[in-house]
Structure 1
Amino acid sequence: MQGEAAPDRTVWTLTGRDALGFLQGLVTNDLRPLEQAPGIVWAALLTPQGKYLADFFVVRRPDGTLLIDIASRLADDTLRRLTMYRLRSDVQIAPSGLHVLRGLDAPPEGALPDPRHPALGWRAWSETAGPDPAIDWDRIRVEHVIPESGIELVPEDSYILEAGFERLHGVDFRKGCYVGQEVTARMKHKTELRKGLVRVSVEGAAPVGTEITDPDGRPVGRLFTQAGGAGIAHLRLDRAEGDLAAGDARVRLA
């Protein structure tokens, strides 16, 4: 099979007559398109206060199988939370034994395009692991300001609108209620975002999460993934002017 392994992902199988409806009431995106046809939806699970907990892909394969494709580092906590919400719903979540493949070449049969951005190519799910990763995914993410689970997306800290979920097709404002919906809708309709993820030029390097300061030494954000002389930063947009510093690295808005 084409593509390469994504070894940091966990894949669950989702079964039961309430499976999609159960998730529909919890996550930020609309899963109803998956009721009738194969597809892939990227969505997040939030706290009641609207803060990010986890993001994942919900997949309907051509044979009708439902999958959740999630970062392994978030899998255990997310499974515990989903189990807590399940109550009496007819939903079972179990390990699938599948491996995630992804690539930028011609997609194999059964692959689906990554819904976040065309530059991310395709995803597929296989019983066999693919070859070791060789594509510089960090460079692609930096170029298009695409956050990663557990890096730019920090559980119980990040807000998805500041992280670009609307631009990356991870939230639907017409789908109705979900956990954290009220806060997210208020941020969308009643406030002007003063913070957010942006692409910056970086001279030097700094550890992920390094605080960024303005020329007067005031904190204005944090620097995350870096690649090819650029990076993704979470910045206070009304203060991010001039030469900024992240440790020993120099930072400017790209």
Structure 2
Amino acid sequence: MATPSTSVTASSTRIRRTPQLAQQPLRSTYRTSKPEPGDLQSNGTRPYSTADNAPQPTDSGIAPLPHRRLICLSGPDTVKFLQGLITNNVHADRHEPFFAAFLDSRGRVLWDVFVWVYPELLAEKENWSCYIEVDASEVEALRKHLKRHKLRSKVAIEVVPEEELGVWAVWGQAQEGINRQAVVADLCDPRGDQSTLWRILAKPNSGLVGDGLETRDVQQYHLQRYKQGIAEGPQEIPRESALPMEVNIDLAQGIDFKKGCYVGQELTIRTKHTGVVRKRILPVQLDFTGDALSSTSTLEAGTDIKQLDETGAIKKGRATGKCVANIGNVGLALCRLEMMTPMRISVESGSYKEGIEFGISVGENGPVVKVKPVLHQWFEERERTLWAKSKPKNMVHLQPE
């Protein structure tokens, strides 16, 4: 079985691999509407909780990710084989890790993945090789998918034992305190603001966590994701249901719109040509005040988000979004952008108006949890940069405040 050699270690001078956009990080300020006096904290961000007992994201930390597993691909046909299956571009000169997705024939997401490739691995395997990182609950399904498409390709497909190599996340100042000697490979996470969240491959018991660092619970990693609107895994990106643009795989540099044919390409390219993505995953603030349950409650995924009337009750009519996940007051939602935000997506004007409130009804005629979508400035800039050329010329984008 092809597994990482014990001789493959990172030197103390390893340069952190970051996407090109990460070289000049965008500001991570955001807006929900025009700021109100006293609405911002001293660090320029809004508080995510209105209750003392709600879980709070930490400013800095490191956490192992046992819910992520690795599959090793190696052999002389690996590049050609993988190129026809994923949304990002694979070529023999690509020596740094990247984000991508597997799609079905209808262009729906099967798996969101990181493809780990780095010089030491290539030197060890001799041919272009990689580790594919996927949700642990889907590792066997992905392995079977790869086997089914292998046919006569000279590619070895093997699940990497957990005790041989694992995935970690680090955020904030903690990334300055890790033991660089223990890092096998690393990547600045391209799904967020590209300045605060990193991903690391390391061997178990390799001493990655340096002196003075405290290992955090994996829940803290999920909070970091939710703050930045990052969906991950089949619970948040339903297999064979979600579209790649709706879960922001395009904005995370996970789709190469210029590459050749791959499974699911047709719908993806057609959407790019139309220039219209009406729904996207966004971070949301949840308000559990009043009679709306406890702030530690978990809302049911798929619950409709609707506009509230003047009294704070749910209005009848079309849903403006759907709840995806939450931990306390920090959550993810699939939002209709022109209904829940001031963003302009198409020539037709949306229904959004300043001061509109949204909420989720918990149970039939139950209490209402208010939902406030969050627009990070870097998110708007990235969406505008990637999709501006595809939009009609008379399309006017709302500029950030």
Query: Is the aligned partner of 1:235 residue 2:335?
Result: yes
Q: CA 1:211 to 1:128, structure 2 compared with 1: closer, same or farther past 3 Å? A: farther
Shift of residue 7 of structure 1? Answer: 0.5
> Percent sequence identity over matched residues?
26
Q: What residue number does 1:87 align with?
A: 151
Query: Is the aligned partner of 1:126 residue 2:185?
Result: no
Query: Is the aligned partner of 1:244 residue 2:334?
Result: no
Equivalent-residue separation in structure 2 for 1:157 and 1:250 (angstroms): 26
Contact residue 139 and residue 228 of structure 1 kept, 8 A: no
1:174 to 250, 255, 258: 258
Shift of residue 171 of structure 1? Answer: 0.7
Residues 181-221 of structure 1: CA distance to partner in whole angstroms, max 9, x if unpaired?
11001111114122111222211252333222233233232
Residues 74-126 of structure 1: CA distance to partner in whole angstroms, max 9, x if unpaired?
21211111111111111111122222223231352433113424322131131
For the residue of structure 1 that corresponds to 2:222, the secondary structure is helix
Contact residue 189 and residue 198 of structure 2 kept, 8 A: no
For the residue of structure 2 that corresponds to 1:197, the secondary structure is strand
Equivalent-residue separation in structure 1 for 2:280 and 2:245 (angstroms): 8
- Where structure 1 has 5 or more consecutive residues not aligned to the other structure, the ranges are none
For the residue of structure 2 that corresponds to 1:164, the secondary structure is coil
Shift of residue 43 of structure 1? Answer: 0.7
1:1-254 to 2 correspondences below 5 Å:
3-32=62-91, 35-36=92-93, 38-61=95-118, 62-64=120-122, 66-97=130-161, 98-104=165-171, 105-106=175-176, 108=180, 109-116=183-190, 117=192, 118=194, 119-128=196-205, 133-134=216-217, 136-204=220-288, 205=297, 206-215=299-308, 216-218=315-317, 219-227=319-327, 229-240=329-340, 241=352, 242-246=356-360, 247=362, 248-254=368-374
| Structure 1 residue identity aligned to 2:86 | V
Residues 111-156 of structure 1: CA distance to partner in whole angstroms, max 9, x if unpaired?
3113424322131131448786436222221222111112331111
Indicate the structure with greater strand content: 1
Equivalent-residue separation in structure 2 for 1:127 and 1:143 (angstroms): 28
> Please, which moves more after superposition, 166-175 or 44-53?
166-175
Equivalent-residue separation in structure 1 for 2:300 and 2:144 (angstroms): 31
Equivalent-residue separation in structure 1 for 2:94 and 2:258 (angstroms): 20
> Please, which moves more after superposition, 43-52 or 105-114?
105-114
> Please, which moves more after superposition, 36-45 or 81-90?
36-45
Equivalent-residue separation in structure 1 for 2:339 and 2:316 (angstroms): 12
Equivalent-residue separation in structure 2 for 1:197 and 1:7 (angstroms): 24
Q: Normalization by structure 2: what TM-score?
A: 0.58
> Please, which moves more after superposition, 198-207 or 122-131?
122-131
| Root-mean-square deviation (Å) | 2.5
For the residue of structure 2 that corresponds to 1:173, the secondary structure is coil
Aligned residues: 252
| Structure 1 residue identity aligned to 2:266 | E
Shift of residue 228 of structure 1? Answer: 6.4
Equivalent-residue separation in structure 2 for 1:5 and 1:198 (angstroms): 25
> Please, which moves more after superposition, 14-23 or 241-250?
241-250
Q: CA 1:128 to 1:22, structure 2 compared with 1: closer, same or farther past 3 Å? A: farther
Contact residue 169 and residue 221 of structure 2 kept, 8 A: no
- Where structure 2 has 5 or more consecutive residues not aligned to the other structure, the ranges are 1-9, 11-60, 210-214, 289-296, 309-314, 341-351, 363-367, 375-401
Contact residue 24 and residue 30 of structure 1 kept, 8 A: yes
Q: Normalization by structure 1: what TM-score?
A: 0.88
Equivalent-residue separation in structure 1 for 2:73 and 2:138 (angstroms): 17
Q: CA 1:37 to 1:251, structure 2 compared with 1: closer, same or farther past 3 Å? A: closer
Instruction: Kindly name which structure, 1 or 2, has the bigger radius of gyration based on alpha carbons.
Output: 2
Shift of residue 37 of structure 1? Answer: 5.7
